[in-house]
Amino acid sequence: MAICGIDFGTSNSTAGMILDGKPQLLPLEGDKTTLPSALFYDFEEETQHVGRAAVAAYVSGAEGRLLRSLKSVLGTSLMDATTEIFNRPIAFRQILATFFGDLKQRAEQAHGGPLTQAVLGRPVHFVDDDVAADRLAQQSLAEIAQAAGFREIAFQYEPIAAAFDYEQQVVREELALIIDIGGGTSDFSLIRLSPERHQRADRRDDILANGGVHIGGTDFDRLLSLAEIMPLLGLGGRMADKDAPVPSTYYHQLATWHTINFLYERKVKRELADVLGEVADRGRFQRLVRVVEERAGHLLAIAVERGKIEVCDAGAASLALDMVEDGLTLPLTLAQFEQSVSAAISRVDEAVNEVLVRAGLAPQAVDTLFFTGGASGVPLLRQTVLARFPEARAVEGDRFGSVGTGLAIAADRLFR
């Protein structure tokens, strides 16, 4: 069999197949079935590393360029933009193709043979409120998959794929709302599930509504960073000799995974040196200059991500910010985190309600809430969604594997 499902995710990617009659995720990095969607270009060796090895190479201090959140550029003008790697411009389209090609090779190595047919996961909306950009995003991903060697491809909404995974344990008919909160998007599907329906190849009549919004775990990282960390680097400060704020663009780029590298361009470093001479609080702005000069932006983003996870799990966290200033730490409470992301979570809740409105149903009609996606464990998000459906039962999926497993099921139905 040369059939697989591919979940190319903003933060992590997976590949799945039907093996011995059951959907299984393939090991992609050692015995791990998840592959962080990260690339590191090692400038000294002129080689590249993928996944956990990419992050490890960067953290070790190797001279090079780390890129994460690659999926976020699909459907944007960045797809045809370039960045300097190995002293030459490389298009982001080629960077995505490099990662995707490596992902396919790893899946083939685990499978022990070529893979030629695939169902690829996609969010309900790659780009919010822009049909043309959304269509372009899917077309770009299709072209990348074909260039990697897939002869036949199809797409499936990620929450629908997660529903197929959940349906394996369903024992009676139920109406389920799939809540997939990933690294880049929040996606929802309202679908009828049952053991009998699970056998059907065509499930269009079972899907009542889909919806989504371009908000996910990387957005929570960005919002937390802007609210709590970037002020320590001068965000919100003033210029010394004129009634103007310190330019905020640098901070937004530093807080956003896929734009961090733009700060390392020579012209930006010159701009920062000029601004440093004019700001009122030179000490805080010097921290920003240090992070950029030492190319420590991703170290800072990793610290923020870890702090987010820790505060959601334990209710409090302490962020070590030595990459900003030696010995600098920031205590973080769950209340601080929730305040920073509350507006985004309200937008997610609105998107959930839009799915209900589209289906013409009241919340009481929903039997089950199936949570999946790496960011689905954010307490405020869960509390907000659960409050809308007080009579529904909550079911936990595999946060990083449900979509990939469901895509394997979808691929087998389509191509076998």
* Mean pLDDT for the stretch of residues 343-365: 97
258-263: long-range contacts at Cβ-Cβ below 8 A with a sequence spacing of 24 or more?
Answer: 258/67, 258/68, 258/69, 258/70, 258/72, 258/73, 258/78, 260/297, 260/298, 260/301, 261/65, 261/66, 261/67, 261/83, 261/297, 262/83, 263/292, 263/297
In-domain check, residue 168: yes
Tell me how far apart the terminal alpha carbons of the chain are, to the nearest angstrom: 8
> Which residue, 300, 323, 338, sits at the end of a domain?
338
Is residue 95's pLDDT more than 80?
Answer: yes
How many structural domains is the chain composed of? 2
Tokens representing residue 292 in the block: 């950029």
Average pLDDT, the chain: 96
- Tell me what pLDDT residue 114 has: 97
pLDDT of 383 strictly over 80: yes
Residues 222 and 286 in one domain: yes
Read off the pTM: 0.94
Does 410 lie in the same domain as 329? no
Tell me: the pLDDT tens digits for 61-94?
Answer: 999 999 999 999 999 999 988 888 888 889 999 9
Query: Is residue 267 located within the same domain as residue 156?
Result: no
Residue where one domain finishes, among candidates 305, 320, 338: 338
CA 221 to centroid of chain Cα atoms: 11
Task: Answer yes or no: is 393 within a domain.
Answer: no
* Domain termination residue (choose one: 338, 361, 389): 338
Shared domain for 35 and 152, answered yes or no, is yes
Encode pLDDT of 239-274 as tens digits.
998 889 999 999 999 999 999 999 998 899 999 999
Give the model's confidence band at 107: pLDDT under 50 very low, under 70 low, under 90 confident, else very high: very high
- Considering the domain architecture, whether residues 105 and 249 belong to the same structural domain is answered as no
390: in domain:
no
Q: What is the structure's pLDDT at 416?
A: 87
Please say if the pLDDT value at position 1 is more than 80: no
User: Is residue 101 packed enough to be buried (19+ CB in 10 Å), middle (13-18) or exposed (0-12)?
Assistant: middle
Length of the chain equals: 416
Same domain, 37 and 156: yes
Same domain, 37 and 160: yes
Q: Is residue 410 situated within a structural domain? A: yes
Same domain, 161 and 229: no
Which pLDDT tens digit goes with each residue over 11-27? 999 999 999 999 999 99
**Residue 132 amino acid letter:** A
Q: Residues 119, 56: one domain?
A: yes
- For residue 102, give the CATH number of its domain: 3.30.420.40
Q: Report the pLDDT averaged over residues 294-309.
A: 97
Tokens of residue 167, six digits: 């349906």
Q: Do residues 70 and 95 touch, judged by C-beta distance below 8 A?
A: yes
Is the domain of 122 the same as that of 11?
Answer: yes
Residue whose pair of structure tokens reads 């791990």 in the numeric block: 32
Could you tell me which residues are beta bridge partners of residue 29? 32
pLDDT at 202: 87
Measure the CA–CA gap between 29 and 49, rounded to whole angstroms.
12
- pLDDT score of 236: 96
Residue 167 lies in a domain: yes
Is residue 180 included in any domain, yes or no?
no
Whole-number pLDDT of residue 182 = 96
Quick one: CA dihedral 222, 228, 229, 231, positive or negative?
Answer: positive
In which domain, by residue range, is 230 found? 218-338
In a domain, 269, yes or no: yes
Q: Which pLDDT belongs to residue 208? A: 97
31 and 136 share a domain? yes
Give the β-pairing of 368-372 and 393-396.
Answer: parallel
Phi/psi at 385 (nearest 5 deg)?
-70, -45
Is the same domain home to 140 and 256? Answer: no
Tell me which long-range contacts 12-15 makes (C-beta under 8 A, separation of at least 24). Answer: 12/36, 12/37, 12/183, 12/374, 12/400, 13/37, 13/103, 14/400, 14/401, 14/403, 14/404, 15/103, 15/104, 15/106, 15/107, 15/110, 15/404
Q: How far apart, in Å, are the Cα atoms of 343 and each of 49, 209, 288, 338, 371?
A: 36, 24, 26, 9, 20
Q: What is the pLDDT of residue 305?
A: 97
Q: Is residue 346 part of a domain?
A: no
Please check the confidence at residue 364 and state whether its pLDDT lies above 80. Answer: yes
Q: What token pair was written down for 170?
A: 């369903």
